[in-house]
């Protein structure tokens, strides 16, 4: 009997070792992630910072610059988005930006110190005639020595391969929230549609950039649910943008109760712990965030930001403000 118990202890140790040594990532239950959120703040930040230091230079933050290459007039009903045609916001629809304007924005981003240039389009899904000029943009931005990223909506079979061939390094497509809350925010595409696009991106060997939005009125359980979806992917995304809802007048989510800033920091920490090797991006919402909270996010493991005074249609801190913040914190851009 004793021998049996001893053998099963050895077995369990063996399994643990196999998990550690192989590529099998730990699966996270929503309850476990809620458990992280419930930790005393100091303990949570310490754990996140410890995990962060095992995989990254704690003083390096990756910087990406965003450009809206096709703005507004979107057919979708994402409740947070000022670019949806059906909501009355101040955003005016604009056609696809000409190549030379995109390239001059990319050149300026590079001169300002960005290492990645992310092109966003307010499409449900690009048509082939939309994709072709974007392929040219990607090839030329890549030729400038910048990493390339695009976010163009849902992809159909074959489109991810065309993007890869053009030189695309990352594709951004967010899950946005937990499956249970998703239907409260978007009805014109399903959660599964998003997962299908993410599979196409993975299969084409493009790095996955996938995260969500916090502060849309979701529960803590649902914040943990979003992280569980991301962390339990066969391969977690290389880049995980965590956006704080930017409330825009005219959108259905305008007027949602503001999230406690410490809850946002906790979300960053839980993302870092559950996805130790991913870049966690402190994304939308920085303009209204005190620099002390941003510093806590970096300590909690955020190691990427959007850099430059505009996101897609809303504001972001001035590049000079971010340079000063990095200098105060001893952070170097990567």
267 binds ligand SAM (CB under 6 A): no
Reduced to 3 states (helix: H, G, I; strand: E, B; else coil), residue 271 is helix
Pick from 208, 248, 268, 325 the residue near ligand SAM by CB under 6 A: 248
CB crowding 93-110: b at 16 or more within 10 Å, else e: eeeebeeeebbebbeebb
Pick from 63, 69, 114, 120 the residue near ligand SAM by CB under 6 A: 120
Q: Total residues at the site for ligand SAM (CB under 6 A)?
A: 17
Handedness of CA 242, 248, 252, 254 (dihedral sign): positive
210 given a catalytic annotation: no
303 binds ligand DTB (CB under 6 A): no
User: To which residue do tokens 């170097």 refer?
Assistant: 332
Choice among 200, 223, 281, 286 that is catalytic: 281
Distance between CA atoms of 311 and 285, rounded to whole angstroms?
Answer: 10
Footprint (CB under 6 A) of ligand SF4, residues 137-196: 153
149 given a catalytic annotation: yes
Residue 27 per-residue DSSP state? P
Footprint (CB under 6 A) of ligand SAM, residues 271-300: 284
116 DSSP β-pair partners? 64, 147
Residue 286 per-residue DSSP state? G
Choose among ligand DTB, ligand SAM, ligand SF4, none what residue 84 binds, the Cβ cut-off being 5 to 8 Å by kind: ligand SF4
User: To which residue do tokens 């703040």 refer?
Assistant: 41
297 given a catalytic annotation: no
176 DSSP β-pair partners? 212
Shortest Å distance, C-beta 208 to ligand DTB: 12
Establish how many alpha carbons lie within 13 A of residue 59's alpha carbon, considering only the half-sphere containing its beta carbon.
Answer: 7
Of 52, 53, 90, 94, the C-alpha closest to 72 is 94
- Give the binding range for ligand SAM (CB under 6 A) out of 28-36, 119-127, 267-275, 322-330: 119-127
* Binding map of ligand SAM across residues 297-316, x = CB under 6 A, - = no contact: ---------------x----
Distance between CA atoms of 55 and 162, rounded to whole angstroms?
Answer: 32
172 binds ligand DTB (CB under 6 A): yes
Pick from 36, 69, 79, 80 the residue near ligand SAM by CB under 6 A: 80
78 binds ligand SF4 (CB under 6 A): yes
- The radius of gyration of the chain from alpha carbons, rounded to an integer in Å, stands at 20
Footprint (CB under 6 A) of ligand DTB, residues 309-328: 311-314
Outline where 204-286 has alpha helix (H): 220-231, 261-274
CA distances to 20, 51, 96, 129, 206 from 234, rounded to whole Å, are: 16, 20, 35, 33, 15
245 binds ligand SAM (CB under 6 A): yes
Both tokens assigned to 59: 């003083």
The string of DSSP letters for 295-315 reads: HHHHHTT--EEE-SSBSSSSB
109 binds ligand SF4 (CB under 6 A): no
Choose among ligand SAM, ligand DTB, ligand SF4, none what residue 173 binds, the Cβ cut-off being 5 to 8 Å by kind: ligand SAM
72 binds ligand SAM (CB under 6 A): no
Q: Which residues does the annotation mark as catalytic?
A: 74, 78, 81, 118, 149, 209, 281
Residues that bind ligand DTB (CB under 6 A): 66, 82, 120, 151, 172, 174, 211, 241, 243, 246, 283-284, 311-314
Residues found near ligand SF4 in the complex (CB under 6 A): 74, 76, 78, 81, 83-84, 122, 124, 153
Residues that bind ligand SAM (CB under 6 A): 80-81, 120, 122-123, 151, 153, 173-174, 176, 213, 243, 245-246, 248, 284, 312
């Amino acid at each position: 009997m004793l021998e049996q118990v001893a053998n099963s202890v050895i077995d369990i140790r063996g399994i643990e070792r196999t998990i550690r040594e192989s590529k099998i990532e730990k699966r996270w239950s929503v309850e476990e992630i809620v458990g992280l959120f419930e930790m005393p703040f100091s303990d949570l930040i310490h754990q996140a910072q410890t995990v962060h230091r095992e995989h990254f230079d704690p003083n390096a933050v990756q910087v990406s610059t965003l450009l809206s290459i096709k703005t507004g007039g979107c057919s979708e009903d994402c409740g947070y988005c000022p670019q949806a045609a059906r909501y009355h916001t101040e955003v005016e629809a604009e056609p696809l930006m000409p190549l030379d304007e995109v390239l001059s924005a990319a050149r300026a981003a590079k001169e300002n110190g960005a290492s990645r240039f992310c092109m966003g389009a307010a499409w449900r899904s690009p048509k082939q005639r939309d994709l072709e000029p974007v392929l040219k943009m990607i090839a030329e931005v890549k030729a400038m020595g910048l990493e390339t990223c695009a976010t163009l909506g849902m992809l159909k079979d074959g489109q991810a391969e065309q993007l890869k061939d053009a030189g695309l390094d990352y594709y951004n497509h967010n899950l946005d929230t937990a499956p249970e809350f998703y239907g409260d925010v978007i009805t014109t595409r399903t959660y599964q549609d998003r997962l299908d696009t993410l599979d196409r991106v993975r299969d084409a060997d493009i790095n996955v950039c996938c995260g969500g939005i916090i502060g849309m009125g979701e529960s803590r359980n649902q914040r943990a649910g979003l992280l569980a979806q991301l962390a339990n992917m066969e391969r977690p995304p290389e880049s995980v943008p965590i956006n704080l809802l930017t409330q825009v007048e005219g959108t259905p989510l305008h007027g949602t109760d503001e999230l406690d800033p410490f809850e946002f920091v906790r979300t960053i920490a839980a993302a870092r712990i559950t996805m130790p090797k991913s870049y966690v991006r402190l994304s939308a919402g920085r303009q209204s965030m005190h620099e002390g909270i941003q510093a806590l996010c970096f300590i909690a493991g955020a190691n990427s930001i959007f850099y430059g005074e505009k996101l897609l249609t809303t504001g972001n801190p001035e590049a000079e403000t971010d340079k000063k913040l990095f200098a105060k914190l001893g952070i170097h851009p990567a």
